Structure 1
Amino acid sequence: MTSKARLIYNPVSGREQMPKNVADILDVLEQAGYEASAFRTTPEKMSAQNEATRAAKEGFDLIVAAGGDGTINEVVNGIAFLEDRPKMAIIPAGTTNDYARALGIPRDNIPDAAKIILKNKTRKMDIGKACFNKKTQYFVNIAASGSLTELTYGVPYEIKSALGYAAYLIKGAEMLPHLTENEMRLTYDDGVYEGKLSMFLLGMTNSIGGFEQIMPDAQLSDGLFQLIVVKPSDPGNLLKLMALALNGKHVDDPNIIYTKTRSLKAELIGKSEGKDLPVNLDGEIGGYCPVSFDNLKQHIEFYVGC
């Protein structure tokens, strides 16, 4: 019986480069032995997510997510909750393409990214699960909260497209004088942190916002998150931390907690209790604190290039 593959692509990703590459991608999938078809996402909310769920329930063996990190996140959310999950492949066409970078997928040539499937190399990857008061969300790369997380979702698309990684540095310098602190309780495998913080990051790969050393010890399928807690500090020291993060030296700073954990519970306490503090999942706001995270070890099988 022929295996079936469904390409789910965002037509506006990568400066609208995806539509003209659809035929080549489908040809690669046919070469790989799949009966292939395509779905063009629409502006409708959760378009990619709903199509991924439909395809998985109809027995498709492979779902190819083509677009930016947001499209990949939607497709993952469309299948992660299912008992029977298809394989996934990704074709990066966004600005930073963090997850593609972590999986060794070519990020500057759409047909070459598709041809990774022909190598038939797969790996079961960890998936993050975030439980808010009224909903559950999944993520593949990063969960974060605190004022510094604006670095991931506060940079306008046009600026990211024009400046790439430099956009994050410019945004960071702009934010420093206006940073706020939150009083939180973080409960993780090895302990509890209670007090003020500027940000926490829960990472699953070593690539965040285009930087490859923020989570220097990240593994892709060990069932563990990398947790970074940034304690309050003066703007000058935070600028220093940003510079150290470029080469992974920030984890030794006394204003940083860096550890591994299978789970995390984050809640506001004290004067911060009752605030609407957003939680960023793979570059988009996924919900608001309080939130509990669990690592779903080796939950989805991906085609990889490394």
Structure 2
Amino acid sequence: MVKRARIIYNPSSGRETLKPKLVDILNVLENGGYETSTFATTPKPHSARDEATRVAKDGFDLVVAAGGDGTINDVINGIAPLEKRPKIGIIPAGTTNDFARALGIPRDDFVEAAKVMIDGKLTPMDVGKAYNDTETEYFINIAAGGRLTELTYGVPADLKTIFGYMAYMLKAVEMLPSSHPVEINAKYDGGEYNGKALMFFLAMTNSVGGLEQLVPDASLNDGNFTMIIVKTGNVFEVLQLITKALNGGRHVDDNRIVYKKTKHFSVEPQDDTKMPINLDGEFGGVAPMKFDNLKEHIQIFANLNLKEKADQE
């Protein structure tokens, strides 16, 4: 039986350099045994999500998410709720490409990234589920809460295209002085936190905002989130924590954060302050919110040998 693949791509990703490479990407997958077709996302909300659901239900063997972390998140959301889920491939064409970095997928060559789906390993991956009384969303790299986490979807698309990763850094510098801790109740496996928090993270890989030392012990498929709650809102103390993270992950033992492993997490503000939730760099609603780790929920092509080599260098 012929294997079928569908490339769902964002035509505006990668400074619009992805589209000219589609023929070469198609050739890689066709030579690898896949009858391959493409779908260009549209401005319609959840265009990639709807297409991923459609082709998954139609029995496609492989769905390729070609774009930034937002496109990947949309594809995952189209597939994660289904009982029968196709294999996933990634062609990173965004600004930070955190998820591709964690999987060892080449981020500077679209064709080489496509070859991972032929030469790489099929790896079981955890998927995060975020839900409350009104909505359910899925994520595969990170969930976060707090005003400062808005920066990933608060940067205009044209600035991301022109300035890339630097646009995020400029936005963070702008937002940090006006970001204040929120009184929260957070529950996790074996514990509870009641107090002020500037932000929280639930990481599923070791690449968060391009920082690989923020969650140095994260695993792709152990069924656990790596949870970080940042208690302090003092600008200088936050910068100290970032410096510690960049210098060998020394922040994990700092008493200004809570650092734990957990399969489940819930967060609820204790006043009228709204806490926005960020899922894989996209707006994911507001707290209160619950989170579950769905262990090894999807199969994804990765090049972990390449990542291990990069980590050793």
* Equivalent residue letter for 2:259: Y
Q: Which residue of structure 1 aligns with residue 310 of structure 2?
A: none
Aligned partners of 2:207 and 2:215 also within 8 Å: yes
Q: Tell me how far apart the structure 2 counterparts of residues 235 and 49 of structure 1 sit (CA, whole Å).
A: 38
Aligned partners of 1:145 and 1:277 also within 8 Å: yes
Q: Which residue of structure 1 aligns with residue 258 of structure 2?
A: 257
Q: Which residue of structure 2 aligns with residue 178 of structure 1?
A: 178
Q: Which residue of structure 2 aligns with residue 266 of structure 1?
A: 267
Aligned partners of 2:182 and 2:273 also within 8 Å: no
Q: Which residue of structure 2 aligns with residue 244 of structure 1?
A: 244
Aligned partners of 2:179 and 2:233 also within 8 Å: no
Aligned partners of 1:126 and 1:220 also within 8 Å: yes
Alignment of 1:11-160 (within 5 A): 11-160=11-160
Q: Tell me how far apart the structure 1 counterparts of residues 246 and 157 of structure 2 sit (CA, whole Å).
A: 22
* Equivalent residue letter for 2:205: T
Give the 3-state SS of the residue equivalent to 2:202 in structure 1. Answer: strand
Give the 3-state SS of the residue equivalent to 1:237 in structure 2. Answer: helix
* Equivalent residue letter for 2:7: L
Q: Tell me how far apart the structure 2 counterparts of residues 192 and 294 of structure 1 sit (CA, whole Å).
A: 16
Q: Tell me how far apart the structure 2 counterparts of residues 172 and 67 of structure 1 sit (CA, whole Å).
A: 23
CA positional deviation for 1:168:
3.6
Query: Aligned in 2, Cα 1:154/1:245: closer, same or farther, shift over 3 Å?
Result: farther
Larger displacement relative to structure 2 (81-90 or 14-23): 14-23
Q: Tell me how far apart the structure 1 counterparts of residues 6 and 176 of structure 2 sit (CA, whole Å).
A: 44
Selected match of 1:285 from 263, 275, 283: 283
- Which deviations, in whole Å up to 9, do the C-alpha atoms of 1:270-301 show, x marking residues without a partner? xx2x4332100000111111110000000000
Give the 3-state SS of the residue equivalent to 1:219 in structure 2. Answer: coil
Q: May I ask how many residue pairs the two structures share in their alignment? A: 303
RMSD: 1.4
Query: Aligned in 2, Cα 1:192/1:292: closer, same or farther, shift over 3 Å?
Result: same
Could you tell me which runs of 5 or more consecutive residues in structure 1 were left unpaired when the two chains were aligned.
none
- Which deviations, in whole Å up to 9, do the C-alpha atoms of 1:66-108 show, x marking residues without a partner? 0000000000000000000000000000000000000000000
Give the 3-state SS of the residue equivalent to 1:239 in structure 2. Answer: helix
Q: Tell me how far apart the structure 2 counterparts of residues 279 and 36 of structure 1 sit (CA, whole Å).
A: 35
Q: Which residue of structure 2 aligns with residue 300 of structure 1?
A: 298
- Which deviations, in whole Å up to 9, do the C-alpha atoms of 1:5-40 show, x marking residues without a partner? 111111110011121111111111111111111111
Aligned partners of 2:213 and 2:245 also within 8 Å: yes
Q: Tell me how far apart the structure 1 counterparts of residues 245 and 166 of structure 2 sit (CA, whole Å).
A: 14
Larger displacement relative to structure 2 (11-20 or 242-251): 242-251
Aligned partners of 1:132 and 1:287 also within 8 Å: no
Larger displacement relative to structure 2 (197-206 or 235-244): 235-244
Aligned partners of 1:49 and 1:75 also within 8 Å: yes
Aligned partners of 2:77 and 2:139 also within 8 Å: yes
Give the 3-state SS of the residue equivalent to 1:207 in structure 2. Answer: coil
Q: Tell me how far apart the structure 1 counterparts of residues 90 and 228 of structure 2 sit (CA, whole Å).
A: 27
CA positional deviation for 1:243:
2.0
Q: Which residue of structure 1 aligns with residue 309 of structure 2?
A: none
Aligned partners of 2:141 and 2:203 also within 8 Å: yes
Aligned partners of 2:205 and 2:215 also within 8 Å: yes
Q: What's the TM-score once normalised by structure 1's chain length?
A: 0.95
- Which deviations, in whole Å up to 9, do the C-alpha atoms of 1:121-168 show, x marking residues without a partner? 110100000012211100011100112213433333344444444444
CA positional deviation for 1:171:
2.9
Q: What's the TM-score once normalised by structure 2's chain length?
A: 0.93
Larger displacement relative to structure 2 (169-178 or 140-149): 169-178
